[in-house]
Amino acid sequence: MGRLKTLDDWLIWQENLHESVIDLGLERIEVVYNKLFPNGVPFHVITVGGTNGKGSTIAFIDNVYSQSKHKVGCFTSPHLINYNERFAIDDKLASDGMIIDAFEKIEACRGGVSLSYFEFSTLAALQIFADADIDIAILEVGLGGRLDSVNVVDNDICVITNIAIDHTDYLGDTRELIGHEKAGIMRTDKLCICGDESPPNTLVNYARKINALLEFINEPYTGKIGLEGEHQKYNAAVALRVIETLQSQFPVSSNLIESGFEQATVVARFQKMMVGDKQVILDVAHNSAAVEKLVNTLQTSDDKTVAIFSALADKNIDDMISLAKDSFTHWFLVPLNVERAIQIELLHGKFDASLTTTVCQNMNSAIDSALALVDAERIVIFGSFHTITDATLILREN
């Protein structure tokens, strides 16, 4: 490799380093991790897995600790606009320089090991947090759990928010199979907080097998929260249990917890903005379970609502449409410029004649068309992280 000077240089190089974009397994990353951290990472680790709700649960925990005397690092993915969004320390994004420093340390230890883009970002998060001398790291599982690169780290406590059908090409097509993959982040004699009210047997059986301490949260948080939707109260309850469990090591006051939960926000999770006289809602709901929660939250208002929608081809798009079809008077369908996107003609073909649809050339025309509808009061943009990224770039300019 030549001299890589900018963050973009590094990211372009990483995208071409490994033959597969997604390559689950810990064999490669463990080699480099053990060189970087021969004694393990020098901070407390909270690993957060699950199908939906990871980002919200992390936001509740992070917002409390980032306002406390404890220094907290937060690793999430994917990013929407800037790569730096993946790494935050006390709610401030890592700078290009901090990320490049971490990349250089990883490269010095990598030898001939081929790392994927996500494996590089996981190791970078750990190195950035170590360099910043944080107390607590919150690590979001990217895909599954057992073989996800985040699982290279032994956590002190973990969260499994829920288990639903998603990423079936990698994790299996039943909740039992997916549950086995998610369960892989548990550790012997360590607590796992689970927010799933009816967990698959594989999850419970794995906890028994390794003697993990599995605890279920079945009651919602009763205080005020900054995120909309009844389901968010359950995510808050999970977050509260994590914070309570860590009180002896990382004490925080009840007032700080209350204010932290009340002020918590997550980009693109029922995120609202006004554009002219219309409310625009951005939501990354990209599987059936997430769409169902989105629909339930929308039903708390009678506003006449239209959708801007697109999705990746490997998602259960038929289910997503079926769940949401009664929530929208008009669907604007948008092509996505990514390899895994569904072709716009195939997407349009999934809508029956009873639904009003418009096929748009791009996100710009979809937003313009939706805003021009006189009787539409609310525009919901959803279906994929990529859909939200495209919309955010345009809406920022309005």
Q: Of 20, 55, 7, which Cα lies nearest the Cα of 149? A: 20
What is the secondary structure of 68-120 as a DSSP string? SSS-EEEE----SS-GGGGEEETTEEPPHHHHHHHHHHHHHHHTT----HHHH
Sign of the Cα pseudo-torsion (172, 175, 180, 183, in order): positive
User: What domains can be seen in the chain, in order of their start residue?
Assistant: 7-262 (3.40.1190.10), 271-395 (3.90.190.20)
Compute the distance between CA of residue 14 and CA of residue 294 in angstroms, rounded to an integer: 35
Burial per residue of 93-132, b for 16 or more beta-carbon CB atoms within 10 angstroms, e otherwise: bbeeebbbbbbebbbebbeebebbbbbbbbbbbbbbbbee
Q: Say if CB 212 and CB 170 are below 8 A apart.
A: no
Q: Tell me the CA end-to-end span of the chain in Å, nearest whole number.
A: 41
In tens digits, the chain (398 residues) has pLDDT values of: 557 889 999 999 999 888 777 777 899 999 999 999 999 999 999 999 999 999 999 999 999 999 999 999 999 999 999 999 999 999 999 999 999 999 999 999 999 899 999 999 999 999 999 999 999 999 999 988 999 999 999 999 999 999 987 766 767 779 999 999 999 999 999 999 999 989 999 999 999 999 999 999 999 999 999 999 999 999 999 999 999 999 999 999 999 999 999 999 999 999 999 999 999 999 999 999 999 999 999 999 999 999 999 999 999 999 999 999 999 999 999 999 998 899 999 999 999 999 999 999 999 999 999 999 999 999 999 999 999 999 999 998 76
